[in-house]
Amino acid sequence: MKKKTICFFLAAGLLLLWLLNQYIQNAYDINLFQYVSYSRGLSAEEREWLSRHGPIIYGADKSTPPLRYQDDENQQYKGIVIDYVNSLSIELGVEIKLRPLVWQDALANLEAGKTDMCDMFPSEQRARKYLFSNSIYNLRGIILKQADDDRLNGLADLAGKKVAAARGDYSVEFLSARVANIDFRYTDDVLTAIQLLHGGAVDAVVGDEPVVSFYAEKLGWKDSLRIVDKPLYEQNVILAVPKTKPQLVAILNKGIFAIKQKSVLEKIQQKWFGISAPILQQQVSKTTFILAAVLSILAMMILFLLYIANEKLKNEVSKRTEELYLSRDDLQKTFDGIPYFMVVFDRDLTIMNVNKAFSLYIGLPAAAITGKNWRELGGLGRDEALQTWILQTFSGRSEQSGELRHGGSVFQVNTFPLLDKERKVIKVVAAIQDVTELRISQKQFLQESKMAAVGQLAAGVAHEIRNPLGLIRSYIYILREEVGREKDNARKAIAVVEDSVERASGIIDNLLAFSRISGDSLERVDVGRLIKNILILEQKILQKQKIAVEYHGSPDVVCVMNQESLKHVLINLIANAIDAMPAGGTLTIRCELREFLHFVVADSGVGIPSEHLDSIFHPFFTTKPPGKGTGLGLYIAYNEVQKLGGEIRVASEPGKGTSFEVMLPLVKESLHEK
């Protein structure tokens, strides 16, 4: 802002200076700097130069009235220019000697340095011989012809004509450069040239307007001779000085400037011509200049005001933009802070914006995702249901929601329309939440609480049954004593009853042991016993499905472990194996203790198709009918194994069977006992 203001004022200042310069140029034919330096008058060196030089000699034509000529009566050298030169002499305070000459000689003397100055038109040719001062007056070159000559109306008509002119006159140089084949007749002076024209020896005379008209009038030939309306040229006349005296130019310029300031030329002209002003330079009037200056200043002020208003507007806009940007930034930060995946869609499913959570999930920076089409994204983008919800939100302006499964995860999706002023949907925001864990824990909780209830129930029932079983056992003892040795059949019956009672109480003990909630603690586990107990619980179904059980285990597999976790893994693997053999088969269980606990649960069942192998550990993946499978068994087994720091592997051949292999690291007993 500040810099611009300075620039503006600088420009304004320059404009004013330029205007001033133009004014001075117009009034005095010099620039602003010259004006300043000339106003100071002659310098000490210049004065010294003048006094050393002595009188200045003005040598010019003696027969060009009224500019300069020698009086017929007393041979006095006079004329407009002579008056001017006299004023110059007074102005500069130096003597100027006048030397009337034939024009040709005047030029030659000046070149030779015999005279010091002479007034003339500046030209290229002359510039080679002389130095020029600033302009002193203005002169027109004209053509004089016979009054009845209609063919001559401009300089072009002079081609091929006989034209008289004073020797060395500027008009000759001027015409030679522009018109071809002019047959020039040179005379000593303008008078002789006019006499030639009047006598019919030439077709025209060219020369300076005041001189030509002066003679035409003086000779009384104003009616027989006529000046062509269009002048040849109109030019400033300067003072020429010999090349050897450059100091004189600067001195003369100061004198010329002083004379111009005092309007001396106007007075001289009035003396010679009355009120007409043929030799004054045409000047733009002072009032015009003042008007122009005032208008310029006004325009500048208006410009400045406009500039200030514009600047204010710009500030306001940038302030507002900043505010807008900040509030936008706030919104984007909030958007990014939301833990769900947030995606903003265009009508054709082009992604307009995404939040940080989503870009992390995709693994690309937000800038790389925006602008893409949702379908190009793959993964979630291919989900038909999600696309349908988004499009429905666009068409129906209503929020949509639903749940979808993708890559082992469950997502809760909500879509919201974003409306414009006319309440048209322009964008749709989708909030996508990964609810896998939530759904699992909900299901797990349900299952566990059911199991806990069943366990309690079983415990209650077991106690109820245990008592009558104890009674039965006691009475069998009595019965056996009573029956004695002879009654073989009764003894056999009693033995069977005793056996059954034992088995029933064994199962009940097992059930009680299983339903006991053991928690997260590490304990000493007899893995062989644990497997056997599970098999006892599954005995009925094993028999029903004609499944043979093979157990290969080291005799004493005892280790420190979280019993609850191990139980989960074993129950789930065995249950799945049983489910895989509806038409019978062999369930093989191996168990050994090496540097880790290693066991295998294998079946000869239906096997797992290879395309399912990647999914079986995903939550909710099941191929079983509803009510039968939850799809959580292997997921839980996998997680428990992970928790124990172990590994679970599967190998399966469809139609032949499946084998799950589990390896669990052992906890050092000393650690446990600590």
Choices 8-16, 326-334, 545-553, 569-577; region in contact with ligand ADP by CB under 6 A: 569-577
Binding site for Mg ion (CB under 5 A): 576, 633
The DSSP letter of residue 76 is -
255 binds, among Mg ion, ligand ADP, none (CB under 5 to 8 A by kind): none
How many of the chain's residues bind ligand ADP (CB under 6 A)? Answer: 22
Q: Is 256 in the site for ligand ADP (CB under 6 A)?
A: no
Of the residues 622, 646, 651, 667, which one makes contact with ligand ADP according to CB under 6 A: 622
Long-range contacts formed by 376-384: CB under 8 A, 24+ apart: 377/351, 379/406, 379/407, 380/406, 380/411, 380/432
Q: Is 605 in the site for ligand ADP (CB under 6 A)?
A: yes
580 binds, among ligand ADP, Mg ion, none (CB under 5 to 8 A by kind): ligand ADP
Cβ neighbours of 9 (radius 10 Å): 12
Of the residues 631, 646, 647, 651, which one makes contact with ligand ADP according to CB under 6 A: 631
Whose Cβ is closer to Mg ion: residue 90's or residue 451's?
A: 451
Q: In the chain, what are the helix, strand and coil shares in percent, each to the nearest 5? A: 50, 25, 25
Q: State the minimum distance, in angstroms, from the CB of residue 630 to ligand ADP.
A: 4
Of the residues 497, 630, 646, 672, which one makes contact with ligand ADP according to CB under 6 A: 630
Based on its alpha-carbon atoms, the radius of gyration of the chain, rounded to whole angstroms, reads 63
| Token representation of residue 429 | 């925001």
Q: What is the DSSP string of 342-411?
A: EEEE-TTSBEEEE-HHHHHHHTS-HHHHTTSBGGGG-GGGG-HHHHHHHHHHHHH---EEEEEEETTEEE
Of the residues 64, 359, 604, 658, which one makes contact with ligand ADP according to CB under 6 A: 658
606 binds, among ligand ADP, Mg ion, none (CB under 5 to 8 A by kind): ligand ADP
Instruction: Write down the number of H helices and E strands in the chain.
Output: 22, 24
Alpha-carbon distance values, 591 to 519, 572, 596, 661 (Å): 24, 16, 11, 10
* Spatial separation of the C-alpha atoms in residues 577 and 570, rounded to whole Å: 11
Q: How far does the chain reach from its first CA to its final CA, in angstroms?
A: 78
Q: State the minimum distance, in angstroms, from the CB of residue 601 to ligand ADP.
A: 8
Evaluate the CA torsion angle 143, 146, 148, 149 in order and state its sign.
negative
Whose Cβ is closer to Mg ion: residue 248's or residue 632's?
A: 632
Whose Cβ is closer to ligand ADP: residue 265's or residue 636's?
A: 636
| Token representation of residue 462 | 């077991």
* Spatial separation of the C-alpha atoms in residues 586 and 600, rounded to whole Å: 13
Whose Cβ is closer to ligand ADP: residue 415's or residue 572's?
A: 572
Q: Is 572 in the site for ligand ADP (CB under 6 A)?
A: yes
Site of tokens 């038909």: 384
Exposure string (b/e) for 272-290, b if CB count within 10 Å is 16 or more? beeeeeebebeeeeeeebe
Q: State the minimum distance, in angstroms, from the CB of residue 571 to ligand ADP.
A: 10
Q: Is 623 in the site for ligand ADP (CB under 6 A)?
A: yes
Q: State the minimum distance, in angstroms, from the CB of residue 630 to Mg ion.
A: 7
Q: Is 586 in the site for ligand ADP (CB under 6 A)?
A: no
Whose Cβ is closer to ligand ADP: residue 281's or residue 576's?
A: 576
**Spatial strand order in the sheet of 68-70:** 63-64, 68-70, 77-78
Whose Cβ is closer to ligand ADP: residue 220's or residue 625's?
A: 625
Interface positions, 213-232, toward ligand ADP (CB under 6 A)? none
Of the residues 603, 644, 648, 663, which one makes contact with ligand ADP according to CB under 6 A: 603
143 binds, among ligand ADP, Mg ion, none (CB under 5 to 8 A by kind): none
Q: State the minimum distance, in angstroms, from the CB of residue 482 to Mg ion.
A: 51
Q: Is 634 in the site for ligand ADP (CB under 6 A)?
A: yes
Residues that bind ligand ADP (CB under 6 A): 572, 576-577, 580, 603, 605-608, 616, 621-624, 629-635, 658
